[in-house]
């Protein structure tokens, strides 16, 4: 069973306009049916554009993107740790310098 352009877009997460360009540029093969609607064979489509993961009922899993707040918190923690390590290195070098000049 072939995909319509809309079904192909839903199956891959790729916009219909991009898929249509891919057809027109020969990147994937699509044919128009008797109603003038584009049809794309799944094997043809997924050779170029991987299928999205599917839920148990066969619907594509929608990508929601990264959790920006969580990433921000992780970055802040990494920056805090880096600053602490840098401060420790500076303190150690100052101690070494003081010990060397006291001799």
* Residue 76: predicted pLDDT: 96
- For residue 21, the cross-strand partners are none
Q: Is residue 61 part of a domain?
A: no
Domain count, the chain: 2
Does 20 have pLDDT greater than 70? yes
* Residue 100: predicted pLDDT: 87
* Residue 36: predicted pLDDT: 94
Report how far apart the first and last C-alpha atoms of the chain are (Å, whole number): 86
Q: Is residue 15 part of a domain?
A: yes
Q: Are residues 44 and 8 located together in one domain of the fold?
A: yes
* Residue 61: predicted pLDDT: 65
Q: Are residues 7 and 41 located together in one domain of the fold?
A: yes
Q: Is residue 60 part of a domain?
A: no
Q: Are residues 71 and 39 located together in one domain of the fold?
A: no
Q: What is the pLDDT of residues 25-71, one digit of tens each?
A: 999 999 999 999 999 999 999 999 998 887 777 666 666 677 888 89
Q: What is the pLDDT of residues 3-18, one digit of tens each?
A: 999 999 988 989 999 9
* Residue 60: predicted pLDDT: 62
Q: Are residues 41 and 75 located together in one domain of the fold?
A: no
Q: Is residue 57 part of a domain?
A: no
Query: Which residues, in sequence order, are CB contacts of 33 under 8 Å at separation 6+?
Result: 39
Q: Is residue 87 part of a domain?
A: yes
Q: Please, are residues 89 and 97 in contact by the beta-carbon 8 Å criterion?
A: no
Q: Are residues 72 and 103 located together in one domain of the fold?
A: yes
Q: Is residue 53 part of a domain?
A: no
- For residue 39, the cross-strand partners are 4, 31
Structural domain containing residue 85: 66-103
Q: Are residues 12 and 39 located together in one domain of the fold?
A: yes
Q: What is the pLDDT of residues 75-91, one digit of tens each?
A: 999 999 999 999 999 99
What is the spatial distance between Cα 3 and Cα 41, in angstroms, rounded to a whole number? 6
């Amino acid at each position: 069973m072939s995909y319509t352009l809309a079904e192909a877009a839903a199956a891959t997460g790729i916009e219909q306009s991009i898929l249509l360009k891919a057809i027109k540029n020969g990147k994937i093969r699509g044919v128009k049916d008797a109603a003038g609607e584009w049809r794309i064979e799944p094997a043809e489509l997924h050779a170029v554009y991987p299928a999205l993961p599917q839920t148990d009922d066969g619907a594509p899993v929608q990508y929601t993107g990264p959790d920006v707040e969580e990433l921000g918190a992780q970055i802040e923690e990494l920056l805090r740790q880096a600053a602490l390590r840098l401060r420790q290195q500076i303190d150690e070098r100052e101690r070494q310098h003081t010990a060397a000049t006291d001799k």
